[in-house]
Amino acid sequence: MKKLRIYADTSVFGGCFDDEFSEDSKAFFNDIKAGKFILIVSPTTLRELNNAPDFVQKVLADLPPSSLELLEYSDEIGFLRDEYLKAGVVSNSCKSDAEHVASASIAEVDLIISWNFKHIVHYDKICGYKAVNLLNGYKPINIYSPKEVIEQ
C-alpha cells in the first residue's frame, strides 16, 4: 500500500509542546516513526525550525531519515507563493504561510497538515489556495489539521 506523503508546517512541530495540540501532534509524529506516512519537509520549514527552540528542532531530528523527503526551493515555489499573495488568499505578512502551501503544491503531496487555523486550515483560505492552483495548472491541495489525519 502506498504511504501518504504529508507536508506538516512548522505549527505541527511546535504543537508537540502546546497544551491544546500536544497529544495530536505527538501522535502524528509517532505515525511517521511507525512508517505510516512520509513527511515532506521544505526549506521554509527548515528555516522556521532553525529559529525555534532546540526542543522543537529535536522533533524533526528524532525522525528516521527514511521517513523524510526533503524539498529544494525553486522559482516555481516562489511563483505560486506570489500568485496566492496577488490573489489575496493571504496578505504579504503571511508570505511564509503561502510558501508552505506552494511548496506542498509543487511537490504534489497528498495533503498538508497545520494548526494554523487563520491562514492555512480555514475554509476560505483552502478555497483560495485550490482556486489559484487550478488557475495556474496545479492540482488542488487537501488541507487538514493533524487531528483529522491521526488514528484515534
What proportion of the chain, given as a percentage, has pLDDT over 70? 99
Name the residue among 69, 78, 66 with its Cα closest to residue 106: 78
DSSP labels, 120-143: TSSHHHHHHHHHHHHHTT-----E
Which residues of the chain fall short of a pLDDT of 50?
none
What pLDDT score was predicted for residue 35?
A: 95
In the structure grid, which three cell numbers stand for residue 11, read together?
505549527
**Domain limits of the chain?**
4-148
Q: Is the dihedral of CA 100, 135, 119, 91 positive or negative?
A: positive
| Cβ atoms of 90 and 65 closer than 8 Å | no
Domain 4-148 has CATH 3.40.50.1010: yes
pLDDT tens sequence across 1-34: 789 999 999 999 999 999 999 999 999 999 999 9
What pLDDT score was predicted for residue 1?
A: 76
What pLDDT score was predicted for residue 121?
A: 98
0.85 cut: is pTM over it? yes
What pLDDT score was predicted for residue 152?
A: 67
What pLDDT score was predicted for residue 151?
A: 76
